[in-house]
Structure 1
Amino acid sequence: MISAEQNERLTRVGPGTPGGRVLRHYWQPIALVDELEGKRPVRPVRALGQDFVLFRDEQGRIGLLDRDCPHRNADLAFGRLEDGGLRCPFHGWLFDVTGKCLETPAEPEGSTLCTRIKQRSYPVEVRSGIIFAYLGEGAAPPFPAFDCFAAPDTHTFAFKGLIECNWLQALEVGIDPAHASFLHRFFDDGDEKEAYGKQFRATSDGSDLPMTYVLREFPRPRIEVDNTPYGLRVTALRSINDATTHVRVTNLFFPQAFVIPMSAEMTITQWHMPVDDTRCYWIAIFTSFAGPVDRARMRAQRLENYSLPDYLPKKGRQNDYGFDPDEQESKTYTGMGEDINVHDQWAVESQGAIQDRTRETLASSDKAIAANRRLLMRAMAAVEEGKRPALLQEDTTAGLTGPGTIDTMAPAATWESHWRQAVERRRGAAPWAPPALAAE
């Protein structure tokens, strides 16, 4: 149990808050590249409790600016893309992707006002279908050489969805290995041929047992948590018999992402991007170590449950998350369909807009959640002392690769070496030749 004051520190993300100051030291996944496709590549973006406008100019450059025009604070998200920038429709002030004011056309001939105007702009980087922004002060940190960033576009797919609750409770689902045996339990293992693009529907590395069977029949994992240069490694061990152990290795990529196995050939790197204190987006990169990702199929699967242009869930409180008591009796543990994002959405939204952690009772299976909260608290304390938070990517750690993540059947006596070898074998066979895993 934590105090109300600690819960406040952990969850608030606005400018000047302890948590908000920490998160502004890291790259934030503010949008999908797909969101700038179409006739008018201008999008309003709300992130960390602030409002921005994201746009792509006539030269293809991407800019992120504060949303209110510095003249009379009109909304630049309704601006016109013309003459090398984004023009405010109120009085015609024009800004380029760096925030430089190019024109103030309503001013008298010869006015030099625009030379003294600068709209706040933010560095952006496009990686694997996601537009990342650095919303803090000073120089942005480098990206690590993780697989999701190293793989070519052909072998990645990005998507997102809105969750109506605080970002931290959404993130904590991803570092909780025990919940999958219940929240994502299926009573029918399904057809392997239909597993593509679906979490927990395929078989593990080195096994013909589907993950649905492993999770359902072995619900008491032994959980180990290790510190790493990027956050935490979380290992769930399920003893199948005296000779065999199922090993599931997942990772916390501090402060907002986790890296988990999806199937024998694909991994998921998923961030939880705070819109504000009570809403967040999950935003993910699916990375394939085999053939190119079937993006059309992956996108169609996810659009069954999300609507554009804002990636809003079709199931939620308004329709009881699609709950069907007959399905709950015979098909899925939740009765809420087969999409695990819907299961997770129900679990975290049902905790409230901001979970009251003074009322929770952590158990031994929650050791990764407790460890992550300690990391966040230490990061906040460091920032308040004028230091850079730990686990921030630096030039010395930008070469970090991986991180290793897998579902695999292993000999019980040698599971630690076995899962690493399985990761290296899969990565080594990838047609885009990822580098070897960096030592941890």
Structure 2
Amino acid sequence: MLTVEQNDFMTRVGSEAPAGKLLRRYWQPVALTDELEGKRPVRPVRLMGQNFVLFRDENGELGLMDRDCPHRGADLAFGRVEDGGLRCPFHGWLFNVKGACLETPAEPENSTMYKHIQQSAYPVVERSGIIFAYLGEGEPPAFPEFDCFVAPDTHTFAFKGLIECNWLQALEVGIDPAHASYLHRFFEDEDTSESYGKQFRGASADSEMPITQVLREYGRPDIKVEPTNYGMRLTALRHLPQNQTHVRVTNLVFPQAFVIPMSAEMTISQWHVPVDDETCYWYAIFTSFTGPVDKKRMREQRLELYELPDYISRRNRSNNYGYDVNEQLSETYTGMGHDINVHDQWAIESQGRIQDRTREHLGTSDKGIVTYRRMLVKAIESTLKGGDAPLLIDASQAGEFSGPPSIDGIEKAGVDPVTYWKEADIERRRGSDWASERLPQRVGGDA
């Protein structure tokens, strides 16, 4: 159990909060590229308790600035994209993507006032359908050459969803391998050939056994946690009959992402990004190792559950997450439908806006959560002292990272699980047009 002070130390994300100072040292997802398409490429953004405006100018350049106009505080999220920047409708002040004021048209014709006006602006980049921003001081870190960042655009798909709770409890569900056997339990197995775009619905690699059957019938995984140079690797072993073992390898990418298998062909890289202390978004990049991603199909699947423009789940606290008692008795463990995002959302939102960790009792199966919290506290303390933190790399180090491997499969009898997942990862890469080119590099980016 933690004290109130320890819990606040890890969860609060304001600019002066300890965890907020740490998270500002990393690139943070702020929007999907899709959100700036259409007639008006301007979006309000709230990130770690601060308000910003994101826009794309007429030349296609991205800008992220403080949302209040430095003239008299009007909302720049209602600005006009024109004349090389974003113009405030109140008095016509114009700002480029770097925050420089280009015009103050209401001032006298010979005024040079605009030359002395600078709106706070922040670096932004696009990666695999997500726009990332850097709010920290100094030069931002480089992006490690993980699969989700180097795969061709045709082989990635990005989406997001709003969660009404603190970012830390949202992240911790992804480094908890034990919960899947209960929270995501389905009482009947479906045709695995119809599982495209759905997590925990296909067959485990190297077998015809549906992952739903594995999770339902083998609920006591042996969990191993290993430190890596990107964070940590979690290996969950479920021992099956005939000396076989189901091996599931997932990863925590510091500070707030995880990489997990979606199917034998696809992985998910997912961030939990604070809107403020009590709300966050999950952002995910789905990466295919086989053919191009069917983006239209995957988007339509998710829009059945998420409502635009704010990507709010249609099943949420206000309607009890679609809970149906008859379904809970006969179809799913939760009675909340077949989308596991809803299950996760219920679990973490039900803990409260910020989980009261003074009341929790962690067990052996929570070893990933314990390891991560220690890593997080160490990095926060180092940041407060002006020290280093994991994965703050420069461009020369980016190529030292690959993967990280995320495997969900059943090893053959007598094969060591570590040997199995490493060979399964290499085999998957050999059969991939784009990933096969990376085989000479160190798979996984281990320290």
TM-score by length of 1: 0.99
- 1 CA distance for matches of 2:15 and 2:445? 36
Structure 1 position 423, deviation (Å) = 0.6
Structure 1 position 391, deviation (Å) = 3.2
Q: Deviations over 1:198-223 (max 9, x none)?
A: 00000111010010000111000000
Q: Deviations over 1:140-166 (max 9, x none)?
A: 000000000011110000000000000
User: In the alignment, what sits opposite 2:58?
Assistant: 58
Which aligned pairs between 1:12-411 and structure 2 lie closer than 5 A?
Answer: 12-241=12-241, 243-395=243-395, 397-399=397-399, 400-411=401-412
Contact 2:231 2:390 in 1 (8 A): no
User: In the alignment, what sits opposite 2:419?
Assistant: 417
- 2 CA distance for matches of 1:95 and 1:128? 27
- 1 CA distance for matches of 2:152 and 2:445? 23
User: In the alignment, what sits opposite 1:430?
Assistant: 432
TM-score by length of 2: 0.97
Contact 1:99 1:118 in 2 (8 A): yes
- 1 CA distance for matches of 2:373 and 2:249? 20
Structure 1 position 340, deviation (Å) = 0.3
Match for 1:282: what amino acid? W
SS at match of 1:7: helix
Match for 1:427: what amino acid? R
- 1 CA distance for matches of 2:4 and 2:291? 49
- 2 CA distance for matches of 1:394 and 1:369? 28
- 1 CA distance for matches of 2:377 and 2:191? 44
Structure 1 position 431, deviation (Å) = 1.6
CA-based RMSD = 1.0
Which region of structure 1 is more displaced relative to structure 2, 384-393 or 131-140?
A: 384-393
SS at match of 1:173: helix
Structure 1 position 193, deviation (Å) = 2.3
Structure 1 position 397, deviation (Å) = 3.5
Structure 1 position 243, deviation (Å) = 2.2
- 2 CA distance for matches of 1:173 and 1:382? 25
- 2 CA distance for matches of 1:413 and 1:58? 57
SS at match of 1:408: strand
- 2 CA distance for matches of 1:325 and 1:246? 31
Contact 1:52 1:67 in 2 (8 A): yes
Structure 1 position 242, deviation (Å) = 5.0
- 2 CA distance for matches of 1:417 and 1:394? 31
Match for 2:438: what amino acid? P
In 2 relative to 1, CA 189–222 (structure 1 residues): closer, same or farther, beyond 3 Å? Answer: same
Match for 1:250: what amino acid? T
- 2 CA distance for matches of 1:95 and 1:282? 30
Match for 2:408: what amino acid? D
- 2 CA distance for matches of 1:391 and 1:140? 11
Q: Deviations over 1:383-439 (max 9, x none)?
A: 111113233233454120100111011135411111101011112211223513155
Contact 1:252 1:258 in 2 (8 A): yes
Q: Deviations over 1:39-71 (max 9, x none)?
A: 101000000110000001111111100101111
Structure 1 position 2, deviation (Å) = 1.1
Aligned residue pairs, count: 440
In 2 relative to 1, CA 164–439 (structure 1 residues): closer, same or farther, beyond 3 Å? Answer: closer
Q: Deviations over 1:284-343 (max 9, x none)?
A: 000000111011110111111100011011111111100000000010000000000000
Q: Deviations over 1:240-294 (max 9, x none)?
A: 1352111000000111100000000000000001000000001100000011101
- 2 CA distance for matches of 1:76 and 1:217? 54
Match for 2:71: what amino acid? H
Contact 1:305 1:313 in 2 (8 A): yes
In 2 relative to 1, CA 439–81 (structure 1 residues): closer, same or farther, beyond 3 Å? Answer: closer
Which region of structure 1 is more displaced relative to structure 2, 410-419 or 313-322?
A: 410-419
Contact 1:128 1:153 in 2 (8 A): yes
- 2 CA distance for matches of 1:191 and 1:316? 28
Match for 1:414: what amino acid? D
- 2 CA distance for matches of 1:89 and 1:422? 57
- 2 CA distance for matches of 1:304 and 1:344? 17
- 2 CA distance for matches of 1:6 and 1:13? 14
- 2 CA distance for matches of 1:438 and 1:313? 33
- 1 CA distance for matches of 2:391 and 2:101? 37
SS at match of 1:72: coil
Match for 1:435: what amino acid? R
SS at match of 1:275: strand
SS at match of 1:255: coil
SS at match of 1:182: helix
- 1 CA distance for matches of 2:320 and 2:223? 32
Detail structure 1 runs of 4+ shifted over 2 Å in the superposition: 390-397
- 1 CA distance for matches of 2:393 and 2:354? 29
- 2 CA distance for matches of 1:390 and 1:125? 21
SS at match of 2:320: helix
Is there any run of 5+ residues in structure 2 with no aligned partner, and where? none
- 2 CA distance for matches of 1:180 and 1:296? 28
Contact 1:243 1:413 in 2 (8 A): no
- 1 CA distance for matches of 2:395 and 2:314? 42
- 1 CA distance for matches of 2:171 and 2:148? 18
